[in-house]
Structure 1
Amino acid sequence: MSNIYWPVYKNLERGVLDLSYSIHIDDTQLAVYSSQISDLILRASAEIESISKELYKQNGGIKTERIKYDTDALVHLNDLWKLESKIVLISSTNCFQTNKELKPFIQDEASTIHGRLTYSWNNSYQNLKHDRANSLNFGSIKYLFDIMSALFILNLYYKSESILLYDDTNGLNFPISLGSDLFSIKLHKWVGHDGEFNFKKENDFDECLYYVHYTESTFEEVKAGSEKAQEKFKKLVEEHPKYIEYITTNLHNTYQGDNFAYDILGQDEHFKITIESHREYFEILRKANYEAIINKQDF
């Protein structure tokens, strides 16, 4: 399926970048407004309406007609992916705002139309759409960055690309801007998994638009390798003379410690058996491949 949205986003982004050469974009200029900025906001709004409804239909939305982009599509997508937590970083060298972090899907601005909280950029859009002559101040740089960051996020979810990193667990070679000349994202680096193969998350996981994980084939190899290593470890323990001596002189269910094999075999023997039984597993981990995946709150 061809992506009709990304080229339009890039065209809008060029408009913002061109603007940055006409206006020194810093904190003192965020309230600056113009017809040119209003036009960019309205065009970005039309894209958000379209792409959000498309994502809604592709990702389990139940309505088939009269879908509203804000109260239907974006609410559904936020429930799925925690859009309200996702952060976009302003990274253009021509932008000098103090606050580089944007969360465009937080509803933190009271609508001047109905009074309820809405997205800041949506309040701008509705005012420009319905009463532009009296709403010129809503066509400001601040609202432009809010709406462009929202559109950037939706485009990333629409593309839903995975990026092969090979052995790069820290994502050092990950293209953090993902094709944008205006923004970049937060990447959740690989932390690992627990003994049950549950993905380990840092506190900022929900803010990250991408995370690093094993490739699917590596994940299956790691799980199979771990199971094989555990079976071999158990076998080596049960064949060890210290284990045999213990179970012939003690009732196994009387053990009161936390690590039966370690306590019975001792540190050195336990270490040797662990290394021997996990040799192939460690080699699988050494050769593991990783990829960066769009964060759809799979964990």
Structure 2
Amino acid sequence: MAHRIFIDGEAGTTGLQIRQRLADRRDLEVVSIDPARRKDAAARAELLNSVDVAILCLPDEGAREAVAMIENPDVRVIDPSTAHRTAPGWVFGFPELAPGHRQAIAASKRVTNPGCWSTGFIALVAPLVRAGLIPPEAALSVHGVSGYSGGGKGLIEEFEQAPPPSSADAFRPYGLTLAHKHLPEMVACTGLAHPPIFSPAVGRYAQGMIVEVPVALWALPGRPAVADLRAALSEAYAGEAFIQVATDLETSQLSQARAGASGYVQALDPEALNGTNGLRLHVFGDETKGQARLLAVLDNLGKGASGAAVQNLNLMLGLDEDAGLSRP
């Protein structure tokens, strides 16, 4: 018998992507609310309480409202919003976070999906803190660029319907208040004592992202080498289906790529993993300067949103973890 799934908010960007990834599944039945009763709270509550798993692709307040409607103790919930990212009783939905974490997801009734930015940051930093290479008190920063699809319908409409962009709009910094919604889980899931300085940006392309964490190795206890960081990440993600750590040779080839006639070289492509649930990690560095640059490449709508939700869904239902998902 197929497991019944309700995507509350299936018309949004993440909801549409999840439905697409589940479209060919025969082990799941995705149910929808009657369009005529879409705004009927009783109809929504009835559906939320009748399924095996509810996936809440809603704004934060809507997600909290949906959880409050669920009275059936057997209903399991995946929440891709930020409403429950650090809430008690919720398991953070990044299966590769630490040994035993995917088992915690599988056993949980309440799983909070990671955000795209925090997925990249946590994947890069958590193993290094755990290995003692980065101390919890370290002062870190994180920045990068994401496709505009991560900003939801409003930003998508602005970028796709606006007049031709000026050069100033090709790269748009945001989060200038230093109070971005991903910061709490970035701290909670890495073991850091202080939030990083977070400077995100959106580019004029739809999908895909690069997340970067610069590290001053000379300021860290023991002055770890670049190779130490790469080795710790490789060990942390050994055997993982969806996370790859670039080798020293691969990194060297990217580092030494020569500029073309235009004077620029595209060494890393933020769109490289679009359509997959993949996450690729790179460690660049200069031993003489004692500096390193940690970079993560992922699909902000894949491993950063809908792909992660499907991966968590599979774990929670005891199904093949990679069912319905594309590897990098």
Using structure 1 for the length normalisation, give the TM-score.
0.25
- Say which one has the larger Rg: 1
- Structure with higher helix content: 1
